[in-house]
A and B are shown apart, each in its own frame.
Chain A
């Protein structure tokens, strides 16, 4: 059901930089639709981290940044902290105007 592909897991030591990729196709990301990123802590609802490819809502630390190129997007977390351990999802839209989510990536802080 997920049409956006993410790595199942990434890990890093505190203070390090990690990136999460999100690969789509010409019918979604490649068609020009914006990409959003969400963080989901265990047992809670997702929270938006990045919207419109590279914009942070107020209250989201500038350690989180997003980018988009062609049919892919990525989320970077710099200065990794223990509280960043969570599941991360990318999201976009497709040509049928349905929302599509990524497969999800578990970030582990070593």
Chain B
């Protein structure tokens, strides 16, 4: 069974940092592109970042470019999102999701992990 399990969310002060993780199982993790998508409370889905299957290609939304870093460890079947200089507007549930190619659909999603940026 394919599973994506996100973790690492919590309460952080503005300007602080947090690292999210997403552990994959039940599939060949190293064969898939991986994405982060976030959803602010009561709002819609917003794409954040993606990384190629081998980690050589990364892309970011303008709103997080220069502050967030996506990475992966295929030996540990784990995706990461390092979030620095956090702002109140980064408050959201963060989902990890997998894609079988660079431009395909998100066929499996993690359960989401909540990040709250507040003093």
Give the interface segment out of B8-16, B23-31, B72-80, B97-105: B97-105
Question: How far, in whole Å, are A70 and B109 apart by their CA atoms in the complex?
Answer: 29
Within 8 A of A (CB), among B64-119: 95, 102-107, 109-112
A99 in contact with B107 given A1-B63, A45-B112 (CB within 8 Å) = no
CB distance from B97 to the nearest CB of A (A): 8
Any B CB within 8 A of the CB of A63: no
Question: How far, in whole Å, are A88 and B52 apart by their CA atoms in the complex?
Answer: 27
**Beta-carbon contacts of B16-57 to A below 8 Å, as 1s and 0s?**
000000000000000000010100000011110010000000
Within 8 A of B (CB), among A57-110: 57, 87, 89, 91, 93, 96-104
Q: B interface, by DSSP: helix, strand, loop or mixed?
A: loop
| A52 and B111 within 8 A (CB) | no
A51 in contact with B107 given A45-B112, A98-B59, A98-B61 (CB within 8 Å) = yes
| B46 and A91 within 8 A (CB) | no
| B45 and A48 within 8 A (CB) | no
A45 in contact with B46 given A97-B59, A98-B59 (CB within 8 Å) = no
Q: Kindly list chain B residues whose C-beta atoms are within 8 Å of the C-beta of A101.
A: 37, 44-47
CB distance from B5 to the nearest CB of A (A): 11
From A48, A96, A100, contact of B107 by CB (8 A):
A48
| B45 and A46 within 8 A (CB) | yes
Q: A105's closest neighbor in chain B, by CB? A: B44
Q: A102's closest neighbor in chain B, by CB? A: B44
Q: Kindly list chain A residues whose C-beta atoms are within 8 Å of the C-beta of B37.
A: 99, 101
| A46 and B109 within 8 A (CB) | yes
Question: How far, in whole Å, are A34 and B103 apart by their CA atoms in the complex?
Answer: 8
Question: How far, in whole Å, are A50 and B107 apart by their CA atoms in the complex?
Answer: 10
Residues of A near any B CB (own CB < 8 A): 1-2, 33-34, 36, 38, 40, 45-48, 51-52, 57, 87, 89, 91, 93, 96-104
